[in-house]
Amino acid sequence: MRDLVEIGMGRTARRSYDLHQVEIVPSRRTRSSKEVSTAWQLDAYRFEIPLVTHPTDAVVSPASAVRIGQLGGLAVLNAEGLWARHADTEGALERVLAAATEDDPVAAVRTLQELHAAPIQPDLLAEALRTVRDAGVTVAARVSPQRARELAPALLAGGVEILFVQGTIISAEHVSPGEPLNLKEFITGIDVPVVAGGVGDYRTAMHLMRTGAAGVIVGYGQSSATTTDSVLGIGVPMATAIVDAAAARRDYLDETGGRYVHVIADGGMDGSGDMAKAIACGADAVMLGEQLADAADSPGGGLYWTSAAAHPSLPRSEVTGFAPSERDLEAVLFGPSTSPYGNVDLFGALRRAMAKTGYSDLKEFQRVGLTVRG
Amino acid sequence: MRDLVEIGMGRTARRSYDLHQVEIVPSRRTRSSKEVSTAWQLDAYRFEIPLVTHPTDAVVSPASAVRIGQLGGLAVLNAEGLWARHADTEGALERVLAAATEDDPVAAVRTLQELHAAPIQPDLLAEALRTVRDAGVTVAARVSPQRARELAPALLAGGVEILFVQGTIISAEHVSPGEPLNLKEFITGIDVPVVAGGVGDYRTAMHLMRTGAAGVIVGYGQSSATTTDSVLGIGVPMATAIVDAAAARRDYLDETGGRYVHVIADGGMDGSGDMAKAIACGADAVMLGEQLADAADSPGGGLYWTSAAAHPSLPRSEVTGFAPSERDLEAVLFGPSTSPYGNVDLFGALRRAMAKTGYSDLKEFQRVGLTVRG
Amino acid sequence: MRDLVEIGMGRTARRSYDLHQVEIVPSRRTRSSKEVSTAWQLDAYRFEIPLVTHPTDAVVSPASAVRIGQLGGLAVLNAEGLWARHADTEGALERVLAAATEDDPVAAVRTLQELHAAPIQPDLLAEALRTVRDAGVTVAARVSPQRARELAPALLAGGVEILFVQGTIISAEHVSPGEPLNLKEFITGIDVPVVAGGVGDYRTAMHLMRTGAAGVIVGYGQSSATTTDSVLGIGVPMATAIVDAAAARRDYLDETGGRYVHVIADGGMDGSGDMAKAIACGADAVMLGEQLADAADSPGGGLYWTSAAAHPSLPRSEVTGFAPSERDLEAVLFGPSTSPYGNVDLFGALRRAMAKTGYSDLKEFQRVGLTVRG
Amino acid sequence: MRDLVEIGMGRTARRSYDLHQVEIVPSRRTRSSKEVSTAWQLDAYRFEIPLVTHPTDAVVSPASAVRIGQLGGLAVLNAEGLWARHADTEGALERVLAAATEDDPVAAVRTLQELHAAPIQPDLLAEALRTVRDAGVTVAARVSPQRARELAPALLAGGVEILFVQGTIISAEHVSPGEPLNLKEFITGIDVPVVAGGVGDYRTAMHLMRTGAAGVIVGYGQSSATTTDSVLGIGVPMATAIVDAAAARRDYLDETGGRYVHVIADGGMDGSGDMAKAIACGADAVMLGEQLADAADSPGGGLYWTSAAAHPSLPRSEVTGFAPSERDLEAVLFGPSTSPYGNVDLFGALRRAMAKTGYSDLKEFQRVGLTVRG
């Protein structure tokens, strides 16, 4: 049954699948969409929709984080982004926007690189988090493994409630000449739940679960802007990666006699159809970025990029432009929609996909039948 | 032999195929196309061609229904469409046409949503059906499962002879807080044959057959306008779905000792070549929509959409535009053709495909050899 | 090993492959291209290159037939084409050319239909053949199965030396209300070798071989102009079809204790690379059409179509336009080339493909290693 | 496990894979990119990066060869190119550049053909090599098998240190009416290490290794300019071909009790991601051409072609144009990059791909996990 191919003599590889190669198969019963719950819970925090934002300045500002929290999702502020480096973040974002309109397709990337050369200012970071906390929604922020130890105190001081330790690809065992992050020690020594990733395979997912992480991120935010595969040759076909991480979750649950680590799918999704497929493959929640970029109240003004766009020497994300729309985050998440393209009413669509296949909650929906296009 | 792949660890899925991945293989004999019959019979109704229309206002008006009936096919009026809601249907269609010419690609969808906010008027519905009945052709109409019980009396009063209970994806077992349709009871309690669907798998097809349906619709009208897959993640690769439904037909025939339930393929077909493939996979008839939209006597004036375009909060069909042609429905169905693209003389082409592979009727042609492109 | 897939429950199909999915694998030795022979022999006729023309007026006129014969190939005149119907063939071709420049993409098809409504004049046919015969090259013509008996006398009188009985898809057993062609009787009763086709599978190829045909045509001239698959749903992936026909040739050779029936590949080839692949799959010769259309001395003036374009009610070929080039047939076949696109020096390229894989004649080259793209 | 398909009856073929179908799977640990070495050694020559240039005049001039050597790579001058034929090479290159701007897409090919009609002048060749030698970097040149014996003396006199005997596809056993090159004797009789290729399969790779070659080239420089597949039908899916050649290397190492022959991947790579995949499949080094063409200090002025473009009668490469950039070779190889497209900082990207999968040298990285896209 294991789906192996021989690339060449003596070298086998698994076949792996993207979400767009997979289809949900209705095959049991149908259900009214009013009878469906999309709620999930991460540690002590309950959310009405399984939405976590990709930690990019293009979609997460303190203001949009508040709005997303009020709408039932979890916004993750990038603790190494513009909000942490520039008091005049609006001015910084305007510079990106201005550069993106020029003929040079990499001018906006260059601008992001320049803006990220400014140092991180812990007080700016704390202030940003405080805005979110004061609005009464769950406070989450992302740090890279390299800077986790350095930035954790400021984040805790600022009131972070869930910490994301997230890089393109991370591992539980980082070899470094300096003082690498021992993720297990880090997580043990910190008071808030930690979500870690991205990963692309069963083994790393299992290792991260064993560090005590509350959640594991699968994927690295693959979007129409992301170019990691072209630059590094590392690709994560998401249907397979999510199914594998869900297998790790199940095995780890058994190994620990009951510790459930959440799997969050980050990337490889276009619109609501792919979000439903990600849950169907076994994700507990989906990390969205690009999907929120054209909302009128997203900070990027219609642009999208991931934090890899700002890498000082090897950027791995374009800045892609969207015509900013008039609809706001609420409409993007809950409609009503006048667009038939899967980009509006994202969670109404998820609810309806679950209803049409007869499932009433997310955990059950992870068992829906799937087919692979021939 | 079962064509399974492992998407990821512990999760298998069947491979499934679209019609365009399949080819008909001539391999026995050839036959004059004059020796070929394309007739089929649904309950007591015989049709010269295996054509059922997709129930969309873009191609079915009372007038075009009459014409299609006279030409040997079966037109299905959408009982929840514009004809049931607006006395001035022409005016309503003109509003859609006007919106479709604007720059905003979703303006026509919005217009359809607005037009469908008007209530259904049973007398308009009855009048539309009467026009068809008075012309002496078979009268068919479509209702959604949600409104079947409510609208059935008006439809019967209007003279409906075959009733289609059709939603994107339906099931024999709908879970709902209100009073869901028990399809079996509904069919038992009604005097006319009922065709139900769409379905995408063997099990649901079998369940629908057991409700007493005279026919089962496979697919949900996938066309160049349809976006259900992008919105909901639910896709129905049609070659596999039709073969599966035909297997259900065979098993149900055996189970009941002789009750033959017709399989109607709805979607995933571009032109006449795909229609032939749908029959070759086991369909008894094909449901066409888009293929008829550019006929001069189609009501949509060259536009096409499915009823899902008018969903109040989550539309799942675009309004696609075709340059209206000068040829009429008769030419589209029977030629002669000056177009080599499979869009004219649809049933002449089917007849010829059967002839070139040596078959003389549709039932035999369901056994023709198929190959799958590598 | 048999490459079967389950399309759906209870219905299996072979996977089949196009030439573009196959690659020739060099793996033994290399050879100077001067050491390579591309000669082949059909019945008593020897040709320096394995070229047979597709019988379309776009590339075969009496004059171009003579030229192709002088260059070592075999041109097949369409006995049901314009040369057989119009004394002023040049004027007819000019009408097609004029129609092809208009905005209406099917205007040229319509013109061909009109021109083919004129009756076949046996004396025109005989005169055309005589021109070819008088030049001292092998005379070949094509008739459809439907008109073979009717036109054979005129063709024999005109001096035809090899007769092609060719339709899109033919069989040895044609069921018809009139008086169908019994191909075996026809071939037995005629004095010249007969080549018959097209076929797409082993069984029909074998049946045609048993009629006494000297050669069997595989495929139906699939080109960028052909639309048979869209219209009829009948497709012939050529790598598989040629391999299958070659298997029939081998089995028939065994069955008869030595009768070798030639396999001619007609379609699915873009340029010289695909021609080499067709031979590598087992073809004895390739039928070319489109590849010759832009030669300055081709009659179509840069246009291409197959005879199916002229079908009175169901055309299955476009008229595609090429910018006519300045190179003549000799340059197209033998170069020298300044074009790196596989469209010039077609047989120099074949010779070089054989040399680079170490083979010295066509029959050996049919055993070269192949790989299928993953 | 062997991945065989049946193309048709009685004819099987392996499935083979391109680099773009393969993904590197991170699955062990991560590592700081500072902890990674990209050095390799060919015979006595050590290079800091596994870069060998494709021997085309578009990227290798004496000046760029020096620069590439100083940057840690190995440049291979084409001993049968313009530098060997024209004293005024700059003028010759300008003619190509001028022709490439015209409307005729093959004008530049024709110009290259004309320029290559001039005879090779051994003194020009020697002078070019001397320039490279005098700069203190490793001197390498390429000859075709046909002219290896004739040109070797001039190359040795000019100070060549590594000799590349390279044609599109070569073999250890060339059948020819004249005096073919016996590669084994040639290599035995010459004092410098010889690298030979291209090959596409295990057997030929093994045969070349047995001639005493120090390295074997896999592929024939497939690039966006190359058209060998269209012209000859010979394709080399690179992931499979590299894995196969690496298997030959392993088997030959065992057979000889320790002779390690280097595998150099030439073609099928777009940017740095594909380069990493080539190493991951088993290559010891990558041969780059197109990737260097837009550097400000590349001689082609933004154009790219392979030497097959200049073939006198059957060219198999286009001249493709790139807008020349302002970045130089150093930036292309080592960044820093403002481009997220995998075309800048090629070897920084390779280093990072190794780091993210936890490997510290190239030899280890050949064992990284791979997956094949479904």
Region B11-35: mean pLDDT is 93
Mapped onto helix, strand or coil, the DSSP state of residue D348 is: helix
Alpha-carbon Rg for chain C, nearest whole angstrom, is: 20
- Which stretches within B3-82 are classed as H helix? 62-70
d(CA B147, CA B113): 18
Are D234 and C29 within 8 A, CB to CB? no
Distance from CA of B160 to the nearest CA of C (A): 34
A31 beta partners: B175
Q: Is A296 exposed, middle or buried (0-12, 13-18, 19+ CB in 10 A)?
A: middle
How far CA A24 is from CA of A33, A316, B149, D172, in Å, comes to 17, 31, 29, 53
In this predicted structure, what is the pLDDT of residue D2?
64
C166-186 pLDDT, tens digit per residue, is 999 999 888 777 777 899 999
- Which stretches within D53-201 are classed as H helix? 62-70, 89-100, 107-115, 122-134, 148-157, 183-188
Are A23 and B4 within 8 A, CB to CB? no
Are B273 and C233 within 8 A, CB to CB? yes
Task: Determine which helix (DSSP H) or strand (DSSP E) holds D333, and give its type and residue range.
Answer: helix D329-334
Distance from CA of A338 to the nearest CA of D (A): 34
In this predicted structure, what is the pLDDT of residue C1?
46
Residue A255: which residues within 8 A CB-CB, separation 6 or more?
Answer: none
Q: What are phi and psi of A100, to 5 degrees?
A: -70, -15
Q: Where are the domains of chain C?
A: 4-372
Q: Is C10 exposed, middle or buried (0-12, 13-18, 19+ CB in 10 A)?
A: middle
Are D341 and A230 within 8 A, CB to CB? yes
Neighbours of chain D (3+ CB pairs under 8 A): A, C
- Find chain C residues with C-beta within 8 A of B338's C-beta: 106, 109-110, 113, 315
Tell me which amino acid residue D106 is.
V
Tell me which amino acid residue D2 is.
R
Residue linked to tokens 């990666």: A241
Instruction: Extract the tokens encoding A158.
Output: 């600022």
B317 beta partners: B226
Low-confidence residues in chain A, pLDDT < 70: 1-2, 322
Are B230 and A270 within 8 A, CB to CB? yes
Cross-chain CB nearest to C35 (options D175, D308, D313)? D175
What would the CATH number be for the domain defined by C4-372?
3.20.20.70
Residue C90: which residues within 8 A CB-CB, separation 6 or more?
Answer: none
Are D339 and D327 in contact by the 8 Å Cβ rule? The answer is no
Are A5 and A178 in contact by the 8 Å Cβ rule? The answer is no
d(CA A196, CA A169): 10
Instruction: Extract the tokens encoding A370.
Output: 């799937």
Instruction: Extract the tokens encoding A260.
Output: 């459930």
- Find chain C residues with C-beta within 8 A of B341's C-beta: 227, 230-231
Cross-chain CB nearest to C230 (options B22, B280, B342)? B342
Measured over the CA atoms of residue A138, residue A141, residue A145 and residue A150, the dihedral's sign is negative
In this predicted structure, what is the pLDDT of residue A374?
87
Cross-chain CB nearest to D243 (options A7, A106, A175)? A7
Low-confidence residues in chain D, pLDDT < 70: 1-2, 322
Q: Is B156 exposed, middle or buried (0-12, 13-18, 19+ CB in 10 A)?
A: middle
D267 beta partners: D222
Are C32 and D7 within 8 A, CB to CB? no
In this predicted structure, what is the pLDDT of residue D279?
98
d(CA B79, CA B127): 11
In this predicted structure, what is the pLDDT of residue A178?
73
CA C54 from centroid of its chain's CA atoms? 4
Tell me which amino acid residue C357 is.
T
Count, residues in chain C: 374
Are D281 and D245 in contact by the 8 Å Cβ rule? The answer is no
Alpha-carbon Rg for chain A, nearest whole angstrom, is: 20
The answer to whether residue B225 scores a pLDDT higher than 80 is yes
The beta strand positions in A170-237, using DSSP E, are: 174-175, 194-199, 215-222
Are C232 and B275 within 8 A, CB to CB? no
Percentage, residues of chain B above pLDDT 90: 90
Cross-chain CB nearest to D6 (options C1, C250, C342)? C1
Are A16 and B6 within 8 A, CB to CB? no
Are A16 and A241 in contact by the 8 Å Cβ rule? The answer is yes
In this predicted structure, what is the pLDDT of residue D289?
97
- Find chain B residues with C-beta within 8 A of A22's C-beta: 7, 13
Q: Nearest CA to A137 among A202, A220, A206, A46?
A: A46
How far CA D111 is from CA of A145, D62, D93, in Å, comes to 55, 22, 10
CA A200 from centroid of its chain's CA atoms? 13
Are B234 and A23 within 8 A, CB to CB? yes
Strands of the sheet containing C51-53, edge to edge, are C51-53, C285-288, C262-267, C215-222, C194-199, C162-166, C140-143, C76-78
Q: Nearest CA to D98 among D114, D85, D87, D84?
A: D114
Distance from CA of B48 to the nearest CA of A (A): 33
How far CA B35 is from CA of B354, B360, D92, in Å, comes to 10, 6, 70
- Find chain D residues with C-beta within 8 A of A178's C-beta: 32
Q: What are phi and psi of D351, to 5 degrees?
A: -55, -40
Low-confidence residues in chain C, pLDDT < 50: 1
Expressed in angstroms, the distance from the first to the final Cα of chain B is 17
The DSSP secondary structure of B12-23, one letter per residue, reads EEEEE--GGGEE
C74-133 pLDDT, tens digit per residue, is 999 999 999 999 999 999 999 999 999 877 889 999 999 999 999 999 999 999 999 999
Neighbours of chain A (3+ CB pairs under 8 A): B, D
Among chain D residues, CA nearest to A229: D273
Q: Nearest CA to C346 among C51, C45, C144, C92?
A: C51
Residue linked to tokens 């022999």: C41
d(CA B332, CA B341): 12
d(CA B232, CA A349): 6
Mapped onto helix, strand or coil, the DSSP state of residue D311 is: coil
Are A339 and B109 within 8 A, CB to CB? yes
Residue linked to tokens 């060749």: D125
In this predicted structure, what is the pLDDT of residue D40?
97
Are C29 and D168 within 8 A, CB to CB? no
Residue A189: which residues within 8 A CB-CB, separation 6 or more?
Answer: none
Expressed in angstroms, the distance from the first to the final Cα of chain C is 17
Are B14 and A371 within 8 A, CB to CB? yes
Task: Categorise residue D62: left if φ over 0, alpha if ψ from -120 to 50, beta otherwise.
Answer: alpha
Region B91-104: mean pLDDT is 90
d(CA B28, CA D259): 59
Q: Is D140 exposed, middle or buried (0-12, 13-18, 19+ CB in 10 A)?
A: buried
Are B172 and B208 in contact by the 8 Å Cβ rule? The answer is yes
ipTM computed for the complex:
0.95
d(CA A64, CA A56): 12
CA D331 from centroid of its chain's CA atoms? 20
d(CA D212, CA D195): 9
The DSSP secondary structure of D39-88, one letter per residue, reads -EEETTEEESS-EEE-S-TTT--HHHHHHHHHTT-B-EEETTSGGGT-S-
Distance from CA of A291 to the nearest CA of B (A): 13
Measured CA angle at D284 (ends D279, D290), to 5 deg: 70
Among chain B residues, CA nearest to A270: B230
Best probe of the D interface among A14, A22, A175, A183, by most D CBs < 10 A, is A175
Best probe of the C interface among B3, B34, B253, B338, by most C CBs < 10 A, is B338
How far CA B23 is from CA of A194, B145, C8, C236, in Å, comes to 53, 35, 15, 8
Residue linked to tokens 């129409």: A224
Distance from CA of A160 to the nearest CA of B (A): 34
Tell me the fold of A18-372. TIM Barrel (3.20.20)
Are B241 and B264 in contact by the 8 Å Cβ rule? The answer is no
Distance from CA of D286 to the nearest CA of A (A): 14
Q: For B19-372, which CATH class?
A: alpha beta
Are D24 and A235 within 8 A, CB to CB? yes
In this predicted structure, what is the pLDDT of residue B1?
46
d(CA C216, CA C197): 6
In this predicted structure, what is the pLDDT of residue A28?
74
Are A181 and A148 in contact by the 8 Å Cβ rule? The answer is yes
d(CA A53, CA A68): 9
In this predicted structure, what is the pLDDT of residue C2?
64
In this predicted structure, what is the pLDDT of residue B2?
64
Among chain A residues, CA nearest to D4: A6
